Structure 1
Amino acid sequence: MPYDHTTASTTPPARYGDPIYHPTPVQQPVMPLAELPPGVEMVTLPNGCRTLAYTQPTSPAPAPAAQPIPAWAKTTALLAPTLGGGIAAAGFGISYAAPGLIAMTDALWAAIALIAAGTLAPLLLRAGRGPGRGTTPVQHVTQTITASGMFGRATGTLNNR
């Protein structure tokens, strides 16, 4: 048998990672779809290759059974409009009462300021005088008045100490 003589190549074989490396796709024999066993299907992978794969049998999901509505849900559903209406009525009432409430708060702040001024004024006046400024001895005046009879003349004495 005659053989063709080949010459040795001077270039090293390409390795994975080299920029010129292009793997050649391997052609595998394709099995006819009619011969596939149950549970095996032809699938397409994310990189575009088509291959055979085992798949899970898909069974139809059972229809959910109708469940009764709980009592708390019915109660909440019935109370929701009532609660919403109450909140709306409260907001409506507050919108009408707002000018009066503002006037009442202004009067309350004025009363608080008056009480604070009346309480703090004597303390500030005493603190402003100090112990050495403007202190004069306290003068005591006593007065004695005497009268005799209903229409008698009153006499009195005045004592300065």
Structure 2
Amino acid sequence: MGRRQPLRPNPHFALRALRRAPPPPPPPATPAEPSPVPVPVQRIPVWAKTTALLAPTVGGGIGAASIGLAYAAPGLIALTEALWAAVALIAAGGAALFLGRARRTPGSTHITQHITATGLFGRATGSTVHHR
């Protein structure tokens, strides 16, 4: 007896095995109930999760701010009245200074400036005219 040859893979062996295999059974003619189509799972984006978590926080902050403003309303009204009174006082003081200064000087000096420029970013040139 001779020596046996080692086994080597035969590429045609798989094809012969497939040819000898029985054909698959035919599909049923009419299925009684259609099989449900699987829905692909979609991941929730990170920005949507972040927004969903921030929404109650922002809403709670707005609610707390509205409660705080409701308690502070009388003080805020008094504060705005005090600020308007300060504005009126400053305006009256400025008017008094302006009128007092206008009475002291007999003649006022008028200054006129003539400025010209060419283009949007052109260099401006000008002259000053003193009127007495």
Pick the structure with greater CA Rg: 1
Identify, as 1 or 2, the structure richer in strand. Answer: 1
TM-score norm. by structure 1 comes to 0.38
TM-score norm. by structure 2 comes to 0.46
Q: Which structure ranks higher in relative contact order (CA pairs < 8 Å, sequence separation ≥ 6)?
A: 2
